[in-house]
Amino acid sequence: MQEQLTPDFRDYELIDSGDFEKLERFGRVVTRRPEPQAIWHKSLAEAEWQRMADASFLRDGKSEERGEWRVKSQTPDRWTIAYRYDEMQLVMRLAMTSFKHVGIFPEQAANWNFIYDNCKALGQKRQPRVLNLFAYTGGATLAARAAGAEVTHVDSVKQVVTWARENMEQSRLEGVRWIVEDALKFVRREVRRGNRYDGIILDPPAYGRGANGEKWVLEEHIGEMLACCAELLEKQDAFLVLNLYSMGLSSTLARTAVRQAFGVPEKEQWGELTFTDRAGKELPLGTYYRFKR
């Protein structure tokens, strides 16, 4: 079933978007960041953007991603926001990075709910084992752990894994297995070991580097990654979540690639993850595909 998803995230708001930028509230901090998909015009005047933004990201001119933040006085370097769903209560630590990110992709909360619900349901039969690949600061990891799953969190950046561990502690959780390694190298080894998981979460970047300099290019490596994950996922009572952020890569593309690797599942969803600003402009912030069997 094709469906657009927008989570109910009280500590996050898309205030305005347009002219390739977005104005967002994370808790009590308002940020201004580049957004290549905001091709329309802003609804608020430039003076309002300048007044409201506590921190504005400026590209360095050499890279589409890197840059620096211009921060108003009294704006904290670090702060936390909370996300609640059912009995899940997550606390995430945020900070401004040189890659324009702040440590969370709030649209992913729609997938956190799905992960939490499926882990809860599987937990009625056994403790589910969940693998989170390209796991970043761990929102999906914590959602699975909050539902009682045994979770393996894999990311190639040690500092990011440390950040995820801080989020676990802030959320009063424990027991996650942390792996600092190239995700593709890890799943190849897991296949050789014959390990199995009840849930697999993939959030791959368009480009990336492994812990030892391994090169990741989404279009070149996603086929092998999905084939390995198909070997690792249990054949019954299991779920998969795949996210794609690269512009031009649709949820239909994700669906086709997953179906080739896993076969056609009984229950599947695909579409866009979105937020709507105060003027009613709906901004797509990534595509997703997920199934359960």
pLDDT-derived band at 65 (thresholds 50, 70, 90) equals: low
Flag whether 40 is in a domain. no
Q: What is the mean pLDDT of residues 259-288?
A: 96
pLDDT-derived band at 209 (thresholds 50, 70, 90) equals: confident
Flag whether 24 is in a domain. no
Query: What is this structure's pTM?
Result: 0.94
pLDDT at position 61:
65
Flag whether 225 is in a domain. yes
- Residue 149, SS3 per DSSP: coil
pLDDT, one tens digit per residue, over 67-117 is 899 999 999 999 999 999 999 999 999 999 988 999 999 999 999 999 999
Residue type, 120: K
Residue 244 belongs to domain spanning: 104-292
pLDDT, one tens digit per residue, over 130-177 is 999 999 999 999 999 999 999 999 999 999 999 999 999 999 999 999
Flag whether 281 is in a domain. yes
- Would you say residue 3 has pLDDT above 90? yes
In angstroms, rounded to a whole number, what is the distance separating the alpha carbons of residues 117 and 139?
14
Q: What is the CATH classification number for the domain harbouring 225?
A: 3.40.50.150
Flag whether 143 is in a domain. yes
The region of weakest confidence among 45-49, 71-75, 207-211, 247-251 is 207-211
pLDDT at position 213:
79
Residue position matching structure tokens 């239909």: 252
- Could you tell me if 192 and 121 are in contact, meaning their C-beta atoms sit under 8 angstroms apart? no
pLDDT at position 233:
98
pLDDT, one tens digit per residue, over 214-269 is 787 888 899 999 999 999 999 999 999 999 986 678 999 999 999 999 999 989 99
pLDDT-derived band at 28 (thresholds 50, 70, 90) equals: very high
Flag whether 87 is in a domain. no
In angstroms, rounded to a whole number, what is the distance separating the alpha carbons of residues 99 and 41?
24
In the numeric block, which tokens belong to residue 183? 């995700």
pLDDT at position 62:
63
Flag whether 17 is in a domain. no
The DSSP output letter for 48 is: H
pLDDT-derived band at 210 (thresholds 50, 70, 90) equals: confident
The region of weakest confidence among 17-21, 65-69, 120-124 is 65-69
Flag whether 9 is in a domain. no
- Could you tell me if 153 and 135 are in contact, meaning their C-beta atoms sit under 8 angstroms apart? yes
The region of weakest confidence among 3-12, 117-126, 195-204, 213-222 is 213-222
> Into how many domains does the chain fold?
1
- Residue 217, SS3 per DSSP: strand
In angstroms, rounded to a whole number, what is the distance separating the alpha carbons of residues 79 and 45?
28
